[in-house]
């Protein structure tokens, strides 16, 4: 029997990626600029719409870092950040010498809780400092409560950095994720919905901000024949080789989103008659998740088994699964950061599990996953 590893989310090439890469070689555009970079940016702009301006960068983390710089976040500033996320959402706050303030999630979308967010803002202002930015995340591809967060952002005049690293292809009220924040960011790491082997993008509302991002991402060179710098720059631009992979991936993005959504339907059906297991899904028709990862929560009392029992049983069958993101306020590295909220994200971390969700999983894989899970259940 085939026992090869089933991954949570692995790269899934569409077939034309290599043509773009070969073309880069043939024309010697083996550099952090070139036709593939321009083409990839255009492809993303067309896909997400809203007249967005996109800068292709070396990673999603780099995009968040540049977003903070563009919003003027500097030493000693405070930045509000969703606690339940990958560390890359929060690390760039520290790169800037600023202080992360973590906020709990709400139960519908597992993302930034508007109530705790507003509490935090009021309290930080009362303590003497208005936070400089809000970083919110569409976790696992699920859009956060866009309208509620936007209203708070506008009320207190604090800009939003929309971490859409996991949510390319998701939408809220028909509008694509990545276009809601004052600045949006995307990731094309190896495990994301599409990959450039490693890469990211910054989504700006206009050309000026996008050009400023590219200026900073290419060592902040002033307009002079010699090398002149009036500002600290970064080496954060995407290479023309990576962008070639991205152009090929954009051709299959919509298809791969559909396949991930089909994986979610597979889990909805698989767990439909299993007591105590809930498959994470959209709270209403306003939200459409790309279901980058399909996740479940396990109520041990009702199910008769724990999240960990299920994880270990899958591991035994060479099937990868993983607890949900450990909240940042529980991470040793952020133990001194202020936290606003209760225990929603902590509970999710304790009872939640991400299941194999790749667009490249086939019927055999699904059969193996299904029988491994059924063994635990019975």
Ligand X SMILES: *Cc1c(COP(=O)(O)O)cnc(C)c1O
Residues 82-121: x/- map of binding to ligand X (CB under 6 A)?
---xx-xx--------------------------------
Interface with ligand X, residue 187, by CB under 6 A = yes
In contact, 237 and 218? CB cutoff 8 Å: yes
| Least distance in angstroms from the C-beta of 51 to ligand X | 24
Which is closer to ligand X, CB of 90 or CB of 310? 90
Size of the site for ligand X (CB under 6 A): 14
Tell me the sheet residues that pair with 136: 162
Contact 339, 124 (CB under 8 A): no
Q: How far is the CB of 208 from ligand X (least distance, A)?
A: 24
Determine the interface stretch with ligand X among 161-169, 295-303, 307-315, 350-358 (rule: CB under 6 A).
Answer: 161-169
Q: Which stretch binds ligand X (CB under 6 A): 81-89, 96-104, 150-158, 268-276?
A: 81-89
Instruction: Find the binding residues for ligand X in span 122-151 (CB under 6 A).
Output: 137
Minimum Å gap between C-beta 14 and ligand X is 20
Among 53, 59, 249, 321, binds ligand X (CB under 6 A): 59
Q: Residue-wise over 66-103: b if at least 16 C-beta within 10 A, else e? A: bbbbbbebeeebbbbbbbbbbebbbbbbeebebbbbbb
**Smallest distance, ligand X to C-beta of residue 2, A:** 30
- State in angstroms the smallest separation of the CB of 200 from ligand X: 4
| Range 188-217, binding ligand X (CB under 6 A) | 189, 200
Q: What distance in Å separates the CA atoms of residue 65 and residue 161, rounded to the nearest whole number?
A: 10
Of the two residues 270 and 337, which places its CB atom closer to ligand X in the complex? Answer: 337
Q: Measuring CA to CA, how many Å separate 155 from each of 117, 141, 152, 159?
A: 12, 26, 5, 10
CB of 123 to ligand X, least distance (A): 25
Among 104, 163, 282, 346, binds ligand X (CB under 6 A): 163
| Cβ within 8 Å of residue 100, ≥6 positions away | 78, 79, 81, 90, 93, 94, 328, 334, 337
Least CB distance from residue 283 to ligand X, whole Å?
19
Return the number of the residue (59 or 297) whose C-beta is nearest ligand X. 59
CB nearer to ligand X: pick between 53 and 85: 85
Q: Which is nearer to ligand X, 52 or 195 (CB)?
A: 195
301-330 residues near ligand X, rule: CB under 6 A: none
Nearer to ligand X, 21 or 186 (CB): 186
Tell me which stretch binds ligand X (CB under 6 A): 106-114, 158-166, 258-266, 355-363: 158-166
Using DSSP bridges, classify how beta strands 175-176 and 171-172 pair: parallel, antiparallel or unpaired: antiparallel
Among residues 60, 92, 159, 352, the one that binds ligand X under rule CB under 6 A: 60
Q: Answer whether 234's CB lies under 8 Å from 293's CB.
A: no
Q: How far is the CB of 236 from ligand X (least distance, A)?
A: 10
- In terms of CB distance, is 24 or 238 closer to ligand X? 238
Residue (9 or 297) nearer to ligand X, CB:
9
The torsion region of residue 50 among left (phi > 0), alpha (psi -120 to 50) and beta comes to: left
- For ligand X, which residue has the nearest CB? 60
We find the least distance from the C-beta atom of residue 61 to ligand X, in angstroms, to be 3
Q: How many residues comprise the chain?
A: 378
Determine how many CB atoms are found less than 10 A away from the CB of residue 57.
Answer: 30
What is the closest distance, in whole angstroms, from the C-beta atom of residue 233 to ligand X in the complex?
Answer: 19
Q: Which residues bind ligand X (CB under 6 A)?
A: 59-61, 85-86, 88-89, 137, 163, 165-166, 187, 189, 200
């Amino acid at each position: 029997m085939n026992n090869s590893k089933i991954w949570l989310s692995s790269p899934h090439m569409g077939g034309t990626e290599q043509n773009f890469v070969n073309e880069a070689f043939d024309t010697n555009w083996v550099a952090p600029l070139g036709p593939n970079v321009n083409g990839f940016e255009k492809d993303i702009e067309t896909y997400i719409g809203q007249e967005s301006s996109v800068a292709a960068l070396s990673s999603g983390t780099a995009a968040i870092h540049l977003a903070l710089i563009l919003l003027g976040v500097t030493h000693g500033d405070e930045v509000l950040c969703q606690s339940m996320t990958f560390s890359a959402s929060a690390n760039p706050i520290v790169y800037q010498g600023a202080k992360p303030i973590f906020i709990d999630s709400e139960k519908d979308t597992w993302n930034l809780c508007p109530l705790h967010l507003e509490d935090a803002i009021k309290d930080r202002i009362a303590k003497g400092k208005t936070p400089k930015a809000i970083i919110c995340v569409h976790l696992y591809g699920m859009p956060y409560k866009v309208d509620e967060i936007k209203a708070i952002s506008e009320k207190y005049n604090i800009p939003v950095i929309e971490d859409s690293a996991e949510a390319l292809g998701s939408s809220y009220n028909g509008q694509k994720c990545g276009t809601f924040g004052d600045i949006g960011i995307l990731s094309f790491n190896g495990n994301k919905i599409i990959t450039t082997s490693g890469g990211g993008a910054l989504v700006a509302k206009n050309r000026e901000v996008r050009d400023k991002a590219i200026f900073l991402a290419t060592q902040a060179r002033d307009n002079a024949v010699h090398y002149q710098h009036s500002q600290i720059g970064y080496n954060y631009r995407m290479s023309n080789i990576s962008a070639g992979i991205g152009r090929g991936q954009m051709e299959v993005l919509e298809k791969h989103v559909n396949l991930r959504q089909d994986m979610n339907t597979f889990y909805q059906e698989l767990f439909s008659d299993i007591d105590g297991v809930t498959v994470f899904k959209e709270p209403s028709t306003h939200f459409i998740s790309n279901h980058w990862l399909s996740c479940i929560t396990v109520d041990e009392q009702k199910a008769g088994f724990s999240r960990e029992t299920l994880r270990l049983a899958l591991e035994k069958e060479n099937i990868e699964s993983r607890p949900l993101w450990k909240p940042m306020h529980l991470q040793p590295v952020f133990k001194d950061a202020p936290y606003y909220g209760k225990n929603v994200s902590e509970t999710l971390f304790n009872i939640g599990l991400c299941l194999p969700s790749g667009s490249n999983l086939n019927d055999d894989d699904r059969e193996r996953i299904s029988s491994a899970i059924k063994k635990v259940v019975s």
